[in-house]
Amino acid sequence: MELFLNAFALAFTPMSIAAIGLGALVGLIFGSIPGLTFTVALALALPISFNLDAVPAIGLLLGTYIGGMTGGSVSAILLGIPGTPSAAATVLDGYPMTKRGDASIALGTAVIVSVFGGLFSLAIMIVSVDLVSKVAIGFGPAEIFALVLFGFSTICGLCGNSLIKGLVAGVLGLMVMTIGLDAIEGVPRMTFGSVNMMQGVNLLVALIGLFAVPFIIEAFSEDRTKSGRMKKMVSVRPELPPFGLLFRNIWLMIRSSLIGTGIGAIPGTGGAIASFLAYDNAKRFSRKPETFGKGNIEGVIAPEAANNAVTGGTLIPLLSLGIPGDPATAIVLAGMMIHGLVPGPALFMNHATEVYGIYIAVIIAYVWVLGLQLLGIRVFVHVLRVPREILAVIVLVLCAIGAYSIRNSEFDIYAMAIIGVAAYLLVAVRIPITPIILGMVLGPNLENEFRTAMMLSEGKLDIFYTSPTVIIFLSLAALVIIFQSLSELKMKRKEKQKVNFSDA
């Protein structure tokens, strides 16, 4: 009890609250601008944390991380361009809601379920840090490969009308991500001798291209000769989601948060995989799966709860074993070590007060995020009052800055342009975009983990069928594919019957 009181005293100093708030605000800004990742925000925040005490310093970093993760949904919902890869799944239903005039409900729901997901995962982390870290650390390359393959099987549910076209899209995404230096042996692949091509296609650059460029082309293609002047994006109703809506979806929020926490606890996975798995899970168990992709609020709740639950999940291996799950948590780890908090079992014995202080800092960060976002919704939705064409010009410049600033390379602007125009053409010929993103997100992990597993087993495939975890994930993947194929066959049969009936 005394430890908790001391931790409260550490976390509730004005400096600590202000540092966490500053982190949350900066994270929100960076997260909501496509191309500016919260990892960049964390890198900028790290030097500021040197002059602070341990809890405010880690609070600043965690606030930035949490704010960034939540902020990705703002541009995903308002513009259909995900601010972070973790928010890519939120676009699928968030943006259709904006087009319908429900932007503020989508934004409000996203922030509330994000806070729920984050706090839920924190609670799970506190209760089960030992157990979960033991299970998660048992995940070797073979297990992560099987998990990624399971994640990839969700492509079947995101294919739209044609399974073949969805699979084509998935393979295209996988192919794009093999361009550049091979991560394991450093061999250049499809680079044609170009130094710029060696760095490969950055995932964020590809995401900006996939989502922003088609939006800009559509806006520039509008016929203004009829109306004679520019139109607003959509009409906006600034209202918050009703409590009943959230209460009805509480089970979905819990399920998605569990998925996010579990995925977050496995190093090398991340928010994008969690949000797509949660989205697929929500669609599969929804009463109205046919409304997904058309503005179903469940399609916002699931990915947002899951990607924020990842924040708590990643803290499990970070605090208990000192293993960062992604580049962002690696910076948090650096911040902790600079302040003398060396992660591992000894951390909980030697610095228990600081650890509890960090837990409280996470709660404060979520309170800040909730407050800032709920207050900000009224401001954010004004973006939609700007004429669509003018907004497209601003988005064009912001996306170019975002793409450039990732690696300070104009090559990324070229890549964004080419991928974006290709995406526009693919959409026009009815090839869905979502499986391309899934291919891009999962492709590098799929290849690297498989190759590492094969190296470890010296070429023997038994590494994939002797581990129960691998067998479970592979079976789940097979089940998803079988069910999806059966449901597609059923749908085709129904359509055939309809055609025959109308012919008769």
Partner 1 sequence: MTDHARNYVVGLLLLTLSVVWTWLVIVTIPAGFGDGDIGPRAFPLMFGLCLGFLSVILLLKSLMNRQKVETARSLATEDQLIIHWLPSALLLIELLGYGYLLKTVGFVISTPILVVFVMFINLRVRSVKMFLGMSIGITLVCWLVFEKVLGIYLANGWLINIG
Please, which of residues 484-503 interact with partner 1 by CB under 8 A?
492, 495-496, 498-499
Looking at the Cβ atoms of 178 and 199, the one nearer to partner 1 is 178
- Could you give the CA distance from residue 91 to residue 98 in angstroms, rounded to a whole number? 10
Q: Residue 445: which of 283, 203, 234, 215 has the closest Cα?
A: 203
Find the shortest distance in angstroms from Cβ 96 to partner 1: 14
Residues 6+ apart with CB under 8 A from 86: 69, 72, 270, 271, 272, 274, 275, 303, 307, 310
Tell me which stretch binds partner 1 (CB under 8 A): 126-134, 209-217, 285-293, 362-370. Answer: 209-217
458 binds partner 1 (CB under 8 A): yes
Which positions from 211 through 270 interact with partner 1, judged by CB under 8 A? 213, 216-218, 220-221, 224
Which positions from 124 through 183 interact with partner 1, judged by CB under 8 A? 161, 164-165, 167-168, 171-172, 174-175, 178, 182
Tell me which stretch binds partner 1 (CB under 8 A): 106-114, 151-159, 199-207, 420-428. Answer: 420-428
- Could you give the CA distance from residue 107 to residue 110 in angstroms, rounded to a whole number? 5
Find the shortest distance in angstroms from Cβ 48 to partner 1: 11
92 binds partner 1 (CB under 8 A): no
337 binds partner 1 (CB under 8 A): no
The 10 Å CB-count burial string (b at 16+, else e) for 101-132 is: ebbbbbbbbbbbbbbbbbbbbbebbeeebeeb
How is residue 210 written in tokens?
């996939």
Tell me which stretch binds partner 1 (CB under 8 A): 136-144, 265-273, 283-291, 423-431. Answer: 423-431
Which positions from 273 through 312 interact with partner 1, judged by CB under 8 A? none
Which positions from 23 through 62 interact with partner 1, judged by CB under 8 A? 29-30, 36, 40, 44
E strand or H helix at 504:
none
Using CB under 8 A, count the residues that bind partner 1: 71
Looking at the Cβ atoms of 13 and 409, the one nearer to partner 1 is 409
E strand or H helix at 191:
none
Find the shortest distance in angstroms from Cβ 51 to partner 1: 17
Burial of 263 (0-12, 13-18, 19+ CB in 10 A): buried
Among 244, 408, 501, 504, binds partner 1 (CB under 8 A): 408
421 binds partner 1 (CB under 8 A): yes
461 binds partner 1 (CB under 8 A): no
User: At which residue do the structure tokens 């993103």 appear?
Assistant: 437
E strand or H helix at 4:
helix 2-11
Provide the residue count of the chain.
504
Distances in Å between the Cα of 219 and the Cα atoms of 79, 103, 170, 387, 500 are 12, 19, 27, 10, 41
- Could you give the CA distance from residue 404 to residue 474 in angstroms, rounded to a whole number? 39
Find the shortest distance in angstroms from Cβ 327 to partner 1: 17
- Could you give the CA distance from residue 178 to residue 189 in angstroms, rounded to a whole number? 7
Which positions from 360 through 389 interact with partner 1, judged by CB under 8 A? 389
475 binds partner 1 (CB under 8 A): no
Among 411, 441, 464, 477, binds partner 1 (CB under 8 A): 411
DSSP string, 66-122: HHHHHHHHHHHHHTS--SSGGGHHHHHHHHHHHHTT-HHHHHHHHHHHHHHHHHHHH
417 binds partner 1 (CB under 8 A): yes
Among 398, 433, 441, 477, binds partner 1 (CB under 8 A): 398
Which is it for strands 180-181 and 188-189: parallel, antiparallel or unpaired?
A: antiparallel
Q: Residue 73: which of 97, 52, 100, 101 has the closest Cα?
A: 97
Looking at the Cβ atoms of 124 and 437, the one nearer to partner 1 is 437
Find the shortest distance in angstroms from Cβ 502 to partner 1: 8
Find the shortest distance in angstroms from Cβ 245 to partner 1: 30
Find the shortest distance in angstroms from Cβ 256 to partner 1: 30
CB 114 within 8 A of CB 69: yes
Looking at the Cβ atoms of 3 and 428, the one nearer to partner 1 is 428
